[in-house]
Each structure stands twice: as structure tokens, then as C-alpha cells.
Amino acid sequence: MTAAIAYLDGPRLRRSLIAAERWVAAGREELNRLNVFPVPDGDTGTNFWLTMRGVAEAMHRLGDAPLPEVSRAAAQAAVMGSRGNSGMMLSHFLVGFSEGLGERFRVRSRELAAAIRRGFQGLSGALEHPVEGTILTVCREAADEAERAAAADDDLGCVIRRTLHGAEAALQRTPELLATLREAGVVDAGGKGFVRILEGIVRLIDGQATEEAEADRAAFAPVPAATAAVEHGRDFRFCSEVLVRGPALPSSGDARRALHALGGDSLQVLRSGDLLRVHVHLDDPAPLFALGETWGEVLTRKAEDMRRQHRMLGVARRPVAVVSDTACDLPDELVDRYGIALVPLQLMFGAEVYQDRFGLDTRAFYRRLRRKAAVRPTTSQPTVQTFHDVLAHASAEADAVVGVILSSGLSGTFANAEAARRSLKTDRVTLVDSRGVSLSQGLLALKAAELAEAGWGVADIVAELARVRAHCGLLFTVATLENLVRSGRVSRAKGWIAGLLDLLPILSVDQDGRIEPVDRVRGRRAVLPRMLDLLGDALPAARPRLRVGIVHADCPDVAERVRHAVVERFAPDDVIVTTVTPVIAAHAGPGAWGIAWQVEDTGAVPAGNKPAAPAL
């Protein structure tokens, strides 16, 4: 029997939220497949988990801290990282819960129950059209049971267990309250997500490890996706979101009134301090993004195709899944096409921490980067926990995982990925050091995904990547040495002299995965011709297939000139043009650009009877 818990403080809340996120993560796919309301887009579990993951990552960064600081950090992270309808509803609850805790350093059972009630009120008050049989019902009845339990018992452990029982009972009744659920034969997915939060906390209290591999695997047991007809007028295509920061944001009410003019459905608005997040289902998200720009600085924008998401639920379990990190610079359409999971690196503006590519709008980042502000961005590798979560989910969705990771010669990212792999205690995850960055890494990850789709096994994929890696490369240059000087890549004296002489470097990533200078030229006009000559020297005379990637740091006109020159001179079989991710641009600076290449020098065939690699 566990000892009584007399109070909740900052460290205990922090551990509880981390445990809750891990248990939500273990049930992500179950929630996706239950998802039929308000539309069957198949992403409730993913969005609920991504919102909780943002909270958990904030907790990892914060460490042990007083209760007010922990609860505020959790609420702020939920607002910053909320995803989808379910994530927004969870964020409303967490903001209200934080307000309910107030500035107390310790709370006892009655105060905890009051904070849960405040969380429910925050959620309820934010909904334009409250619907019973959803997470709203589950939250309310959980709050009811928490208050009854706290009135009878001072043990927080008992209060949380009874709160869970109340939430579970409410969840089982959701089909009785909502015809869509009853017809599909499922309970509400968002309500189930809330129950899993409470289950994760109870598991922590009871000493059960939420990372247990067998439990996680069982939670991902394939089940048929629930289906439901969508009411006429609610069948919008895109789950659209925008996050805006500004000193003079509209009130939630004013924002709602402006958003009503866009039409759509499932509107939610969450205002917290200088942040405003909007979620709405639309057929065209562009007007939403334009409206957000009139309110302030758009930090993130999202438009996910809900119809495609639901179709993807019927896709069979994959033999091999591919994971990379956001330094790979693969465009979204290729990441989505091959189902490549990306682990975000971190980018910091002073005390502000963003998840690369997921938590910061690229256009907003470049606008900020070009300002001559005192606070300049810095970067950090993903945490071991972040890698653990993504690798665990990839393992749950496929029989094996191949991770193609940022060069160990440039970052500690690969070391953290390896630590996460060891923590999983499984032989189903294999990591490959790309010895590259940007599209030199990305093209290798893309190759892995193509081979996996073609039916190659893990051992054959890894062997082929090692062979192909020897025929990959990256040449790049920068518009200014300022960022390289600041990051220590170039000394201040050399940077000053180069500036006087109008010298610009051409750099490469060598076979050990480290950046090395190749040449320097005088004047911008001389860079492209010299870069093409160097590329010609690097390419073998016999190259059956050549894939090229052009990357640029917010200079699309330059990238187009480079693409045209490369096509005219080398006639590659495939050309990818993309913007470098913010975490790389933080080091290279705006105006940087580069050319990556990958050569298919033989028609390699894997061992056994597997099919050959697809044509590029």
C-alpha cells in the first residue's frame, strides 16, 4: 500500500506531467483510431500527445521549481505547442488549472480539487458550442468526483484515484450522449486522452513505469479505425491554426468576431498574455494566416489535410519506418509522402525556446533574424527524452526503425539519439550517422525511406546507406561572415579582413562529417561559377543517376539561379529546392545557400529476394 500524499508541490506536479505525457504517448494511435468527432480526421491522439509533449519538454528544461513556476510553465508550453482541436481544449484546461493553483507553493486535496474545477471552467467557457459526450463531459465529472473525494479525504493519492474513476465512468457514458459516437461504436477520443493523463499520474503514484516496452506495444495494438459520416457543413478540409505574439492583440471575443467572417467550424481562441492561438477547420487557411499577420507577429501556422489523415489510418503497419531530425531540411511534401518522423532540434532567442520547424514559423524567424537585435539565436540538440518519444512511436508503428541523424562531427544530436536508443532496450532501432547536414543528410534519409518503401530490410538499407554516403556531398557559402564569426567558425580578425577584401568562403562537409573550407572567392558573382567547378570535380565521370538538392536561407531568387545553372550543366535526374530550417540558418545567416548531391553509381540489389531500389 502506498503512503499517503499530503500535498502537491512543484517537483511533484512536474513529475506528474511528465508521467502523464508518457502514458498519453503510449496510447496515441488508439486515440487516433477512436477519433470521429467533430470530424473523423484521425489525429486526436497525435495532437493531444504533441501538446503534452510540449508541456513535458518544458518540464524537462525547467527542472525542479516552485509550484507557481511549474504550473505557469506548463500552461505557457501548452499554449505555445497546442495542436488541433483536442490540443486546444487541453490547453484551456491547463491554463485554468494553473490559475486555480495561483501562487501557492503547496496545495492540499481541497485546493487541488478547486484547481481541477477551475480547469474545467476554463475549458467550458472557451467553447462557443459546448457539446456533451466529449472531453467537456469527462472533465466536468472528473472535477465533480475530485471535489467529493477531497471533502472526505486528505490523501491526494486517493483523491486522484477517485478523480480517475469519475473520469472513466463519464468516458463510458459518452456514446449515450453523442449520437456520432454511438453510431461508430466508440467512446470520445478527447475524453479518452484526458483519462490517459490521469492514468499516467496514478501509474506514477503506484510506482509503475510508463515506459515499459510491452505495455507501450500493447497500447498500439492495431485496431480498425472508427468511421463516421460528417454532418453537412462540417466537412472542411484543413485543420488550421495560427499562433500570434504582439503587444496589442485583440481580446478573445474580438478575435472570434473577426474569425466568424471566415466561416469554418470548430473555432477555438486562446489568449494568454502576449500570445493568441486560433484553431479552426477551413477549406482555405490562407485568410486565417493573413488575418493573424494583422494582429502581430505570426510565430507558427499550420494547415493539415484532415481527409488525408483519415485515409492514412487504413494504411497497413510498415515493416521499416524512417526517422531523422529537423536538420535534414527535407521539404514537408517529401516528409509526408514517405512518413518520415522528424525530431526537432531546439532554437533559443534568449530565454525563449522553440522547437525547430514545429514551434516557429520560418518566415517569422527570418524576419526576426534580419533585425539587428541584441538577442541573437542560439541552438541546441534535441533532448534524449524527445528522441526517446519519437523513436518509441516509430517502433510502435513499424516492425523496425532506421534513424538517419545529423553528423556526429557537428553536433551532440547523434549522441542523444544513441542514448535514447539504449533507453528503449530494443534491437528494432538502428541509427545511421549521416555525416552530413541539411540536404546532404536529408537526401540520405530520403534514400532510406525509398528503400524501405521498396521492401528492403534494415540490414540491407543500412549497408546501402553506407555505400551511398560515400557518394554524397554538400558545398555551401554565406552572404556574410557575421554569423560564422559569432559562432566561432571564423575568427574575428579573419572575418574583418575578409570583409575588407570582399572575400566569401566556399565550405563543404567532409567524409568525417565536419565542415571544412574548400576555397574563397572575391565578390558574390564569382561564387556560383566556382561552386559549379568544384561540384564537377566532386562528381564521378560515370554516374547513372544524380540527385541534387539546392538549399537557401531566405534567398529564393538565388536558389532559382543556382537550380537553373545546375540543371544546364549537369542534367540531374532529380532536383529538390528548399529553404534551410531555422536552426541551420541561425549559424549560416540569411542569404546563405548550398548544393547537395547524391550519386547512384550502381544498380545495387539487396541480399535475398527483396526488390531492387527504386529509380530516383
Model confidence pLDDT, tens digit, residues 140-174:
999 999 999 999 999 999 999 999 999 999 999 98
Closest CA to 397 of 321, 303, 334: 321
Do 446 and 323 touch, CB atoms closer than 8 A? no
Do 150 and 188 touch, CB atoms closer than 8 A? no
Model confidence pLDDT, tens digit, residues 348-388:
887 777 778 876 667 778 888 877 665 678 888 888 888 88
The pTM (predicted TM-score) of the whole model is: 0.57
Cα(202)–Cα(314) distance, integer angstroms:
33
Query: Residue 300 has what pLDDT?
Result: 72
Per residue, what are the HEC states of 274-322?
CEEEEEEEECCCHHHHHHHHHHCEEEEEEEEEHHHHHHHCCCCCEEEEE
Beta strands 593-600 and 545-552, pairing class: antiparallel
Query: Residue 151 has what pLDDT?
Result: 94
Query: Which cell numbers hold the place of 474?
Result: 554538400
Query: Residue 610 has what pLDDT?
Result: 38
% of the chain at pLDDT higher than 90: 38
Q: Which CATH number describes the domain made up of 316-469? A: 3.40.50.10170
Query: Residue 81 has what pLDDT?
Result: 74
Band of residue 46 on the pLDDT scale cut at 50, 70, 90: confident
Query: Residue 178 has what pLDDT?
Result: 80
Q: Which CATH number describes the domain made up of 472-600? A: 3.30.1180.10
Give the mean pLDDT of 323-341: 89
Residue 564's contacts (CB-CB under 8 Å, 6 or more residues apart) are: none
Architecture of domain 238-305: 2-Layer Sandwich (3.30)
Question: Measuring CA to CA, how many Å separate 354 from each of 287, 308, 613?
Answer: 25, 28, 37
Band of residue 213 on the pLDDT scale cut at 50, 70, 90: very low
Question: Measuring CA to CA, how many Å separate 200 from each of 114, 161, 318?
Answer: 21, 11, 28
Query: Which cell numbers hold the place of 74?
Result: 506548463
Model confidence pLDDT, tens digit, residues 240-291:
888 888 888 898 888 888 888 888 777 888 887 788 888 888 888 888 888 8
Higher per-residue pLDDT: 511 or 604: 511
Which CATH code, of 3.50.50.60, 1.25.40.340, 1.10.3720.10, 1.25.40.20, is assigned to 10-214?
1.25.40.340
2 three-state secondary structure: coil
- Which range is least confidently modeled, 38-47, 404-413, 561-570? 38-47
Q: Tell me phi and psi for residue 491, to 5 degrees.
A: -70, 155
| In the chain, domain spans | 10-214, 238-305, 316-469, 472-600
Band of residue 35 on the pLDDT scale cut at 50, 70, 90: low
Cα(378)–Cα(326) distance, integer angstroms:
15
Query: Residue 483 has what pLDDT?
Result: 58
Per the prediction, the chain carries an average pLDDT of: 82
Give the mean pLDDT of 327-341: 87
Do 244 and 255 touch, CB atoms closer than 8 A? no
